[in-house]
Amino acid sequence: MDTVVNNINLGANQVPLAICLLQLSRIKPSATDVQKRRRARYDQTALKELADNIKVMQVIEPIIVRPTDASAESFEIVAGERRWLASKQAGLETVPAIVRTLDDSQVLEIQLVENLQREGLHELEEAEGYETLMTKHGYDIDGLLVKFGKRSRPYIYGRLKLLALDKKSREAFYQGKLNASTALLLARIPVPALQNKALKDITEGWNGAIMSVRAAAEHVQQHYMLRLKDAPFDQKQIDLVPAAGACGSCPKRTGNQPELFGDVKGADVCTDPECFAAKRSAWYVLIEARAKAEGRKVLAGEDAKRIAPYGVDSSLHGGYVKLDDTCYQDAKHRTYRQLLGKDFKAETLLQDPKSGQIVELAKLSDHAETLKAKGVRAEQGRSSGSDGERQRQKAAKLETTFRERVFNAVRTKTPGQLGGEDLRLVATVLWHQAGHDERVRLVTLWNWADKKKANDVVHQSAGQIGKLSEEQLRRFVLDCALIDEVRAHAYSTGKPTKLLDAAKRSRIDTDAIRKALKDEQKARATAKGSTKTTSAKPAVPKGKQRKTKVA
């Protein structure tokens, strides 16, 4: 304790330290906020143990007090309140004390330093102590490093960042649901609503189990951080979202706070998904406005869905292609943009119904001659309204129904072997490897959202894996492995090998499923033909046709 006092600037007129015995009744506890917070968290069991020890050994280390009046008849505890309380419980009448004349600022600093050096200090209290030393006593990071030599710069920054935890996260931290490392992962999420969601993901996972630090770190990086290299917007533009500024200098970019994000691979990672989304939306609005000003057509909403019903990453209807897609009919495998020329400007832009991304399109039939000159024949026979296309779509729909039935039959016979966290790891990896459309189908299949909302919430649904039981996880893993073969496509002739093999292993009669489906199709066709015959008007004999009067 003497060391604590000697490290504080007590002024030039202080006398050497002297220890005296003071009556316990003449001493009162400190009223500072630091001591109030600490007092609220005293361990009563530990306090009783200290009292029992004092009964035998007396008080070995003196407390520090200051006079509260000019006559020095009463004193306020500066440091050592637990020893004072334990002495009272032990039945003592006096306690050894060092009496100092200290102002409020010196008292607060002594208490903070003593508090920060004690064992069992909660990390949030430690953070608050550092903050007070910096804001009220002029310390900076280097000063704290000198004062607490065993600390490192990342350690101090990490503790101070814990103050960014919101109320719910702090409560969970104090309740022991979070440790310091996991709490820091949450504190680095700058949006309170997202921080609360991540807290729920981490503390209310599968079967009520709390995620490990490693699992929590992976979860936060996967769902609450975004790679800036994937951003569709201009990261240097300062007025895209004026309040945010440019990405390069943003404090929410991992590279600008290396002391806090040393565990994150890469400096160009955004830790604010809401800001990222706002910039993306603003960028699309800007692109759309520019396109319209140039007289170009921008398709959105229902118009966009007619062209890209499954998103721009799937086949486009109406004879359109993305300019930046590879043309596989070209021997050199150039993109359509390269084939049409570097100065070509797309007449049509489309806002992806799935992601909101705006892409440039070209209609092949409008540029047939240019493509022909480059040795590429523009495909003409794939318009959505052709008889051939309708037949292919019909066949694909029938094939999809068959595969769905096989798939559902396989699901009922899911084997039970792999379990625990290994099984959850496999499930999580398979989920992230699945394509967007497959994930949308899984969201609907598992009732995590209805069909209308599935596309909107698919990026938020990975946390649902943590809530699945082990039995559900086994089924989910198989779902992820097979889901990409459930939907048949009009231009695909391949067999659903994985799905059929899984059915065979489960002894499912796929031929019977196929036959039942054909019988149903035949019955519907018969019923449809019968309805047409019944509803048709009776034919009028040629000789008795009525003449129509013309008004």
- The single residue listed with the structure tokens 């208490």 is 111
pTM for the full model?
0.54
> What is the structure's pLDDT at 114?
80
Angle, CA 431 vertex, CA 226 and CA 357 arms, to 5°: 45
pLDDT score for 453: 78
Separation between Cα atoms, residue 119 and residue 117, nearest integer Å: 7
Q: Which pLDDT value is given to residue 119?
A: 67
Would you call 326 helix, strand, or coil by DSSP? Answer: strand
Catalytic residue among 49, 73, 81, 109: 81
Label residue 330 by pLDDT band (50, 70, 90). Answer: confident
Residue 81 known to be catalytic: yes
Phi first, then psi: give them for residue 208, nearest 5 degrees.
80, 5
- Record the tokens describing residue 38, joined without a space: 């600490």
> Cβ neighbours of residue 378 under 8 Å, at least 6 residues apart?
364, 365, 367, 368, 371, 372
Task: Confirm if 262 and 188 have CB atoms less than 8 A apart.
Answer: no
As a whole number of angstroms, the distance between CA 125 and CA 162 comes to 10
Least confident window among 102-106, 267-271, 473-477, 543-547: 543-547
Residue 352, Cβ density class (10 Å: 0-12 exposed, 13-18 middle, ≥19 buried): middle
How confident is the model over 88-102, as a mean pLDDT?
Answer: 91
Please report the pLDDT score of residue 542 as a whole number. Answer: 47
Burial of 538 (0-12, 13-18, 19+ CB in 10 A): exposed
What is residue 424's predicted lDDT score, i.e. its pLDDT? 83
**Mean pLDDT over each residue of the chain, to the nearest integer:** 82
pLDDT for 468 equals 86
pLDDT of residue 534: 58
Cα-based distances in Å from 389 to 153, 308, 314, 452, 489: 65, 16, 16, 26, 11
Residue 359 has φ and ψ, to the nearest 5°, of -125, 155
Question: Does the pLDDT of residue 115 top 80, yes or no?
Answer: no
Query: What domains does the chain contain, in order, with CATH numbers?
Result: 2-121 (3.90.1530.10), 167-275 (no CATH), 296-373 (no CATH), 387-512 (no CATH)
Reported as a single tens digit per residue, the pLDDT across 23-76 is 999 999 988 887 887 788 788 888 899 999 999 889 988 999 999 887 778 899
Question: What is the mean predicted confidence (pLDDT) over 149-163?
Answer: 87
Most confident among 240-244, 343-347, 393-397, 451-455 (mean pLDDT): 240-244
Tokens of 456: 């909107």
